[in-house]
């Protein structure tokens, strides 16, 4: 393994008296796709929320390149190179699809209040540039024809693609995806899997939380398995598939009644 991009070191998250995540550590290397899997309530989304700065770990520390994430403000994450999508979609419904993606360029652009209000030359060029690049990103995820529609009028699956385009607009080194295939049909999932390979080819690492095992086994370079807040395994997809602990965790899920 080369130099690590993301280094998660012993993070723990307590919600009141409930320990949702307990002493979890793992790494992500540049350009690598790591999947975070586990039964419902294993703490996957909580881990993702800590890595993306929405939650602060009760204990432990997360490093991104040379930065301690506990010292980085939420809005500075995209500047560092971390972008994310949301499990329960956080889209800007009243904007067009293109505008949604253009918001993603926020951290890489500069036009301030006066420049925008007076439509100064450079802010106009920046605007045009954002528009063009947003369109390209929509082409890449395959929804360019929907660019001028209000985001609120799109189907669930298309909104997921839009969120990915919006996250890619920040030019991330690490893309955090929270159940991107939820609610997608077979062919949409296959398209998305191909897209992740394309994103990886361009040098962006992905940390993927996903329930669709076909997708995970297909696209992940490495897999980290959580169960009840603890890391129970990590390794290559084929190793994970054969791991008795993992199988037990998944088969035992119904008895314990996942949260």
Q: How many residues interact with another protein (rule CB under 8 A)? A: 43
DSSP per-residue string spanning 72-113: S-GGGHHHHTEEE--TT----TTSBHHHHHHHTTGGG----H
52: contact with another protein by CB under 8 A: yes
Query: What residues between 123 and 152 interact with another protein by CB under 8 A?
Result: 123, 126-127, 130, 148
Q: Which of 46, 91, 193, 228 touches another protein by CB under 8 A?
A: 91
Q: What does the angle CA 127 – CA 31 – CA 28 come to, to the nearest 5 degrees?
A: 115
CB of 169 or CB of 249, closer to another protein: 169
Rounded Cα distance between 213 and 126, Å, is 41
Stretch that binds another protein, among 29-37, 122-130, 186-194, 236-244 (CB under 8 A): 122-130
Nearest approach, Cβ of residue 238 and another protein (Å): 34
Question: Tokens 């009141």 identify what position?
Answer: 16
Nearest Cα to Cα of residue 47 among 193, 254, 185, 231: 231
153: contact with another protein by CB under 8 A: no
Nearest approach, Cβ of residue 217 and another protein (Å): 28
Q: Which of 102, 164, 175, 205 touches another protein by CB under 8 A?
A: 102
45: contact with another protein by CB under 8 A: no
Rounded Cα distance between 107 and 121, Å, is 20
CA neighbours closer than 13 Å in the CB half-sphere of residue 243: 19
Measured torsion, CA atoms of residues 220, 224, 225, 228, in degrees rounded to the nearest 10: -140
Q: Which of 56, 59, 90, 155 touches another protein by CB under 8 A?
A: 90
Binding residues for another protein, per CB under 8 A?
52-54, 73-79, 83-84, 86, 90-96, 99, 102-107, 109, 111-113, 116-119, 123, 126-127, 130, 148, 166-167, 170
């Amino acid at each position: 393994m080369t130099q690590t991009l993301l280094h998660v070191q012993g993070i723990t998250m307590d919600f009141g008296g409930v320990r949702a995540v307990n002493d979890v550590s793992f790494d992500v290397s540049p350009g690598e796709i790591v999947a975070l899997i586990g039964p419902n309530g294993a703490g996957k989304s909580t881990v993702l929320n800590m890595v993306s700065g929405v939650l602060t770990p009760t204990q432990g520390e997360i490093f991104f390149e040379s930065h301690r994430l506990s010292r980085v403000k939420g809005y500075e994450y995209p500047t560092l190179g971390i972008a994310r999508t949301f499990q329960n979609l956080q889209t800007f419904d009243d904007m067009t699809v293109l505008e949604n993606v253009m918001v993603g360029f926020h951290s890489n652009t500069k036009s301030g209040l006066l420049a925008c209000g007076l439509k100064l030359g450079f802010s106009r060029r920046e605007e045009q540039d954002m528009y063009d690049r947003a369109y390209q990103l929509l082409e890449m995820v395959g929804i360019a024809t929907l660019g001028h529609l209000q985001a609120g009028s799109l189907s669930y699956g298309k909104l997921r693609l839009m969120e990915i385009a919006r996250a890619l607009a920040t030019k991330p080194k690490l893309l955090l995806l929270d159940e991107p295939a939820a609610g997608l049909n077979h062919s949409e999932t296959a398209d998305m899997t191909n897209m992740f390979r394309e994103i990886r080819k361009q040098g962006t690492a992905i940390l993927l939380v996903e329930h669709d095992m076909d997708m995970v086994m297909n696209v992940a370079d490495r897999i980290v398995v959580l169960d009840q807040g603890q890391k129970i395994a990590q390794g290559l997809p084929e190793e994970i598939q054969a791991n008795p602990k993992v199988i037990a965790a998944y088969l035992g899920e119904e008895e314990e009644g996942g949260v």
